[in-house]
Amino acid sequence: MSEEHIHYLKKIRKEKIIVFTSQITILIGFILLWEILSKYKIINPFIFSSPTRILTTIKNLYLNYDLISHILTTLYETLIAFLLGITLSFIFAVILYEFKILNKIIDPYLTMLNSLPKVALGPLIIIISGASSKSIIVMALLINLIVGIMTIYNGFNNIDPDLKKLFQTFHASRMDILLKLTIPASYKTIISSLKLNISMTLIGVIMGEFLVSRKGLGYLIIYGTQVFNLDMVMSGIIILIIISFILYKIITYIEKKLLK
C-alpha cells in the first residue's frame, strides 16, 4: 500500500476511536450525573429513579416477575410484526410502482391512513382479533405498513430515469427492469425502510401491550404506573432502549453485508 493509503486508513481508524470513546464518555457521564442528581434529590428520585435503583429493580424483576419471559414476548411480537410489515410493504410498493394508475387511485387513502392515530383503532382491533398477541401484532403492523410502503415506493421513483431508458433501449422487459435495475438500485432505500420499520414496529407493540397484554415490557410499564412503582416503569423503558439499540445494530450489520 502507498503511504497515502496507509495514512488514510490510520485517519479512518483514529476517527472511529474518537467517535466510540466520545459516545462511551457521554453515556458514562450521563449515568453518573443522573445518579448524583437523584442521590442528592436535585431531581425527584421517586419520579426519575436512579441508575442504582433501576439495576436493583431489574434484578428483582428477573427473580420475581419472570423478566426474561416478558422480554421474549415483546421480541416475538416485534419480529413477527416487523417481518410481516417489511414483506407486505415491499410487495405493495412493487405493485404500486408497476401500476401507476393504481397508485394514483389509492394514494389519498394511503395518506389518510398514515395520518390516522392507530391507537384509536385499538378497541376495534381487540374486538376483531381478540385480547391476545394477535391484536398487538395487528396494531404494530398497521403502524409500520403504510410508512414502509411509502418509503420503498418513493425509493423506486427516485431511480435515474436515464438508466431506465437505457434498459428499454436494449429491449429489457418490465420484469428485467424491476429485478435488475429498480430493486438493486433501491437497496439503500429498502435498508432505510428496515431501520424505520423496526422502530415503528416496537412502538406499535408497546402501544398494543398497553391496551391488551398480560405479558411483555409494555405490560410491565403500564403495571408499574398503576401501582406507582416508577422504578419498574423506568426499568422497562431502559430495557426497551437497549433492545431498540440491539435491533438497530442488527439492521446496520445486514446493511453492510448487503451493500458490500
Nearest to 86 by CA among 195, 161, 175, 9: 195
Pair (18, 129) in one structural domain = no
Nearest to 45 by CA among 217, 248, 231, 246: 231
Nearest to 117 by CA among 203, 229, 192, 59: 203
User: pLDDT by residue (tens digit) across 121-158?
Assistant: 888 888 888 778 888 999 899 888 988 999 999 889 88
- What confidence category does residue 1 fall into, taking pLDDT thresholds of 50, 70 and 90? low
What is the per-residue pLDDT for 37? 94
User: pLDDT by residue (tens digit) across 51-92?
Assistant: 999 999 999 999 988 899 999 999 999 999 999 999 999 999
The answer to whether 81 and 137 are in contact (CB under 8 A) is yes
Pair (18, 74) in one structural domain = no
Q: What is the mean pLDDT of residues 176-188?
A: 88
Pair (68, 38) in one structural domain = no
User: pLDDT by residue (tens digit) across 2-43?
Assistant: 778 778 888 889 998 999 999 999 999 999 999 999 999 899
Pair (231, 122) in one structural domain = yes
What is the per-residue pLDDT for 4? 81
Pair (11, 98) in one structural domain = no
- Looking at every residue in the chain, the average pLDDT score rounds to 89
The answer to whether 217 and 209 are in contact (CB under 8 A) is yes
Q: Residue 54 is part of a domain; what is its CATH number?
A: 1.10.3720.10
d(CA 181, CA 169): 14
What is the per-residue pLDDT for 34? 95
Find which of 55-64, 171-180, 249-258 is predicted with most confidence, using mean pLDDT. Answer: 55-64
Q: What is the DSSP string of 89-148?
A: HHHHHHHHHH-HHHHHHHHHHHHHHHHS-GGGGHHHHHHHH-SSHHHHHHHHHHHHHHHH
Amino acid at 33: L
The answer to whether 201 and 86 are in contact (CB under 8 A) is no
Nearest to 239 by CA among 202, 212, 201: 202
pTM for the model stands at 0.86
Pair (108, 204) in one structural domain = yes
Pair (26, 75) in one structural domain = no
Of residues 256 and 157, more confidently modeled: 157
The residue length of the chain stands at 260
Pair (10, 124) in one structural domain = no
Pair (136, 211) in one structural domain = yes
Pair (30, 97) in one structural domain = no
What phi-psi label fits residue 213: left (phi over 0), alpha (psi between -120 and 50 degrees) or beta? Answer: beta
Pair (114, 233) in one structural domain = yes
d(CA 12, CA 221): 42
Half-sphere exposure of 117 (CA within 13 A, CB side): 5
Pair (161, 118) in one structural domain = yes
Domain count, the chain: 2
Q: Which three cell numbers stand for residue 21?
A: 470513546
Q: What is the mean pLDDT of residues 227-250?
A: 91
Q: Which range marks the domain in which residue 4 is found?
A: 1-43
Which residues, at least 6 apart from 69, have a Cβ–Cβ distance to it below 8 Å?
215
